[in-house]
Structure 1
Amino acid sequence: MSVRLRSFCMALLAAALLSSPLPAFAQQNGQAPSAPANPAVYVGSKACQECHAKEYESYSKYSKKAHSSQSVKIMAKKLTPEELRGCFACHTTGYGQPGGFVSFEKTPELANAGCEVCHGPGSAHVASGGDPSLIKSKLAMSECERCHNAERVRNFNFKPMLFAGAH
């Protein structure tokens, strides 16, 4: 692996770990946010299928995200553990978060970049029977740019598409 690619992956991992913004009040007062009593955790894209059949079918059929773990598996033997963690940050669902991807063996349902990468952990939304206030429905480009950014385009010759075939 090239030094440039290795440096990029290291920077990506650091950015992913540091990209969770504090709420405005906490930022203004220098306080850390308090954790919700029962934070939502990741449940995997199949949990979305029953209520969002059309979107799930489109995601499964057309989105490269639905198969994103394959590229990680192909390269895994050539990567250091630190580089591999950088790949997991964008190519899996919820890596490093409560209920998120741990490994291909322990959490295979989260091995690809699924619905919850964009819409957030879905356990509360699913448990409520689909309360729309418990899942992120309005997305901003800045959220996409955590993984889909100019440096990735240069390093991987990646051409991002709006919605990337998700739905």
Structure 2
Amino acid sequence: MRIRLVGALVALALVSAAPALAQDARYLGSAACAECHEKQYENFQKYAKKAKSSHSIQIMASDLTKDEVRECYGCHTTGYGQPGGFKSFDETPELGHAGCEVCHGPGSTHVEEGGDPSLIKGTLNIKDCEHCHNEERVGTFNFKPMLYGGAH
């Protein structure tokens, strides 16, 4: 029961924590960021556990109910439960990990408008991380935010 309650709260927090930028923006996946943000993308792929967060779900899935697995998607995939976000590993594999757009918001309008910085959340702070990395998870997983870990 606790997992379901936490999952519901996380899903609510994700929807409310998503940057309110361009309303028609779609999620593209982290690879779409690489063209203009090559160094950040390379660091993300190399150092961020988030870049491979789908592996955790796939490893644990056989021990969880379908509802519990869906609750994992809220923090381990990109845009789950939001328009244009992760649906499944088959349908939206490019969103199957917690990528750039989890923190920076859906990137389609940012890309389409030539990298207009007002169409993406550029400056992040620790509060942006806390919708998934709350105090309980920090202690459990020894969370080190990428804000301070070299991804940017």
Q: Tell whether the structures are fold-level matches, with TM greater than 0.5.
A: yes
The structure that has the greater radius of gyration is 1
Letter in 1 for 2:151: A
1:161 maps to 144
Does the 8 A contact of 1:64 with 1:165 survive in 2? no
- Say if 2:118 is the partner of 1:133: yes
Does the 8 A contact of 1:92 with 1:113 survive in 2? yes
Q: 4+ residue runs of structure 1 moved beyond 6 angstroms? A: none
2:4 maps to 10
Query: Quick one: distance in 2 between partners of 1:21 and 1:53?
Result: 29
**Shift of the alpha carbon at 1:88?**
0.4
Query: Quick one: distance in 2 between partners of 1:82 and 1:130?
Result: 37
- Change in CA separation of 1:68 and 1:21 when aligned onto 2, cut-off 3 Å: closer
Unaligned runs of 5+ in 1: 1-5, 23-35
Aligned residues: 145
Letter in 2 for 1:136: K
Does the 8 A contact of 2:137 with 2:143 survive in 1? no
> Which residue, out of 49, 74, 89, partners 1:104?
89
Query: Quick one: distance in 2 between partners of 1:127 and 1:111?
Result: 22
Supply the RMSD in Å over aligned alpha carbons. Answer: 1.8
Any residues of structure 2 matched to 1:1-167 within 5 Å, and which?
A: 7=2, 9-19=3-13, 20-21=15-16, 39-154=24-139, 157-163=140-146, 164-167=149-152
Per-residue CA shift, 1:23-42, capped at 9, x if unaligned? xxxxxxxxxxxxx7x52111
Identity between Structure 1 and Structure 2 (%): 57
**Shift of the alpha carbon at 1:165?**
4.6
**Shift of the alpha carbon at 1:18?**
2.2
Query: How high is the TM-score relative to the length of structure 2?
Result: 0.88
Per-residue CA shift, 1:18-62, capped at 9, x if unaligned? 22449xxxxxxxxxxxxx7x5211100000000000000000111
- Change in CA separation of 1:85 and 1:165 when aligned onto 2, cut-off 3 Å: farther
